Structure 1
Amino acid sequence: MDWRAIAMGVAFGIIWASAFASARVIVLNAPPLYALSIRFLVSGLIGVGLAFAMGQSWRLTRPQWIATLVFGISQNALYLGLNFVAMQTVEASLAAIVASTMPLLVAFASWAFFGERLRPLAVLGLFAGVAGVAVIMGARLQGDVDLFGLALCVIGVLSLAVATMSVRGASTGGNFLMIVGLQMLVGAAVLSVPAVAFETFTVTWNWPLVIAFLYTVIMPGLVATLIWFYLVDRIGATRAAVFHFLTPFFGVATAALLLGEELGSGDILGVLIITAGILAVQLSRQKPPAAPR
């Protein structure tokens, strides 16, 4: 894994993790599905507009269209929709930790369905990451946790794994920004149905809500998703998914800094274990030095 890919992965991890804190602010002041649907509509229109301005085309390949639909439904509608609903009762840090288990799901799916092989060190790194998440979860579950909200987060991370695998079809043929914009419009359309059916559009207008919404539209909505497409195109879905292990650290840190959520010793220990797992996976991808002649 080259340094540019590592820089892209870390940037994605920081932006992606920060979205949990901004989402928490949004759902405490607005109906979650309405807010998320509007966010995707705005982000999607901006993304498509910028793509057209850059000369990109909406004439995608068949695999790209399939990936766009699957990604829009699995990540935007299911994963983020379920997380937004869950974060009405679940802390942002806990939602971020659950999301970080996704790389193991992607690695298993890559092995089971695509025949992708992982070196022993990479496998150990993935399990170390999961162990670190388990340490954090163990400390968190000792308190009062809404199990229904936690279940929604678990279902959501399964959908995220499907979305990540679907990017395989979107990583060839270019037009990345167009794909990002279109898959957000797909998410907006799908989420608008349950929003109208089950929610009342009641909003508590304040500056934290406005700032959190604008940040979510631009950074996690457009910038992080675009980085993700380029990263998967560069190093593949399984390797890129490793950077989701950064989610616990940055998610918990952001929630503690901005929302005052508690950061305990179990969180710190778990983060250290996760970091070791990431390092192991990265080292497993390094080519061995050539043998001297």
Structure 2
Amino acid sequence: MTGQGAAGDSRWIAAMPAVFVAIWCTGFVVARLAMPHAPPISFLSIRFALSALCFGAWVFASGARWPSEPAQWGHLAVLGLTTQAGYLICGWAAVKYGMGAGTMALIAGLQPLLTALWLHTQGERLKPLQWTGLLLGLAGLVLVVLHKLGAGELNALNMGLGAGALLTITFGGLYQKRFVKPNDARTAMFVQMAVAALISAPLALLEHEPIVWHHELFIALGWSVLVLTLGGSSLLFLMLQRGAATRVTSLMYLVPPAAALLAWALFGDPVGAVFWLGMAMSALGVYWVVRR
């Protein structure tokens, strides 16, 4: 390999965490784009099915190894139920029923705070700075939520759905830490997507709103499958192989404000001074909780 080629590879590896976070912050913005044209569960059931097909083809082409222990299939299925189906259905439905993409990203971004509180009840003591971070993060959320309530964006339904997204992604993360052993990311994602598709498809039949095959819906579907699922997951897989995954943590605090900026640029969502103050407080609070 030439020196120029090695330098290019090094720059790409160094940029992986930032690219991953840039992809990740588009999740609920894509929901905002798709929801005028399709009910959330119907859209997600199609996304899960197409993602499972793509991962299945990738597994077949690459010869990736399947989980060797039968119990791991069940544990991966639980992740498909929680971190995929439960989290995305609740989060996308919250956006469907009026919650802004930036606000939903902020609520989902509080997962480390909720995880830290749970682990504290299990004997992992928090340091004073972490307690300060918890209080600051929650205060930032309250500031954003109260501001949005005053503007009429939030209501009991979408707030309940947002809380459901936060609870399912937090439970899934704790479950994975406790039960899921290292597996090939490609086969693990195939199992999760297949389970999510099987769960969401019957639920989609309960939705009465028709799917309107608008060009924005095709854009959202293509981005969700090819960029968010396959692209984001592939980057995470590559970062794990190269030991760069820990660098993602320091950049994840940028996801909610980046999502809010995208929603402002694409849809004109209001982002005033109070909103940014709450975002900054929450980002700093999460950083204090999870920093080493």
TM-score (normalised: structure 1): 0.81
Q: Which residue of 1 aligns with 2:34?
A: 26
Q: Supply the distance in 2 between the matched residues of 1:210 and 1:154 (Cα, whole angstroms).
A: 28
Deviation at 1:101, TM superposition (A): 1.9
Q: Supply the distance in 1 between the matched residues of 2:64 and 2:39 (Cα, whole angstroms).
A: 34
Q: Supply the distance in 1 between the matched residues of 2:240 and 2:270 (Cα, whole angstroms).
A: 33
Counterpart amino acid of residue 136 in structure 2: A
Q: Deviations over 1:183-229 (max 9, x none)?
A: 01111110011111x12462222222111111011222233345567
- Gap runs ≥5 in structure 1: 286-293
Q: Supply the distance in 2 between the matched residues of 1:171 and 1:235 (Cα, whole angstroms).
A: 21
Name the CA shift for 1:128/1:232 in 2 (closer, same or farther; >3 Å).
farther
Q: Supply the distance in 2 between the matched residues of 1:240 and 1:57 (Cα, whole angstroms).
A: 26
Name the CA shift for 1:126/1:219 in 2 (closer, same or farther; >3 Å).
farther
What is the aligned counterpart of 1:257 among 265, 282, 286? 265
Structure 1 residues 159-168 or 49-58, which shifts more?
49-58
Q: Supply the distance in 2 between the matched residues of 1:6 and 1:151 (Cα, whole angstroms).
A: 38
Name the CA shift for 1:280/1:156 in 2 (closer, same or farther; >3 Å).
closer
Counterpart amino acid of residue 150 in structure 1: M
What is the aligned counterpart of 1:47 among 39, 50, 55? 55
Structure 1 residues 34-43 or 243-252, which shifts more?
243-252
1:160 aligns with 2:174: no
**Residues 106 and 241, structure 1, Cα contact 8 Å, conserved in 2:** no
Q: Supply the distance in 2 between the matched residues of 1:201 and 1:232 (Cα, whole angstroms).
A: 41
Q: Which residue of 1 aligns with 2:214?
A: 206
Other structure's SS at 2:158 match: helix
Q: Which residue of 2 aligns with 1:291?
A: none
**Residues 16 and 247, structure 1, Cα contact 8 Å, conserved in 2:** yes
Q: Percent identity?
A: 27
Deviation at 1:136, TM superposition (A): 1.8
Q: RMSD value over aligned CA atoms?
A: 3.2
Counterpart amino acid of residue 176 in structure 2: V
Q: Which residue of 1 aligns with 2:224?
A: 216
Deviation at 1:250, TM superposition (A): 1.8
Q: Supply the distance in 2 between the matched residues of 1:248 and 1:31 (Cα, whole angstroms).
A: 24
Structure 1 residues 79-88 or 258-267, which shifts more?
79-88
**Mapping of 1:1-293 within 5 angstroms?**
10-62=18-70, 64-90=72-98, 91-113=100-122, 115-144=123-152, 145-168=154-177, 172-196=181-205, 198-200=206-208, 202-225=210-233, 245-281=253-289, 284-285=291-292
Q: Which residue of 2 aligns with 1:288?
A: none
- Gap runs ≥5 in structure 2: 1-11
Q: Supply the distance in 1 between the matched residues of 2:135 and 2:169 (Cα, whole angstroms).
A: 19
Q: Across the two proteins, how many residue pairs are aligned to each other?
A: 278
Counterpart amino acid of residue 192 in structure 2: Q
Q: Supply the distance in 1 between the matched residues of 2:54 and 2:17 (Cα, whole angstroms).
A: 23
Q: Supply the distance in 2 between the matched residues of 1:219 and 1:170 (Cα, whole angstroms).
A: 28
Other structure's SS at 1:87 match: helix
Q: Supply the distance in 1 between the matched residues of 2:240 and 2:34 (Cα, whole angstroms).
A: 29
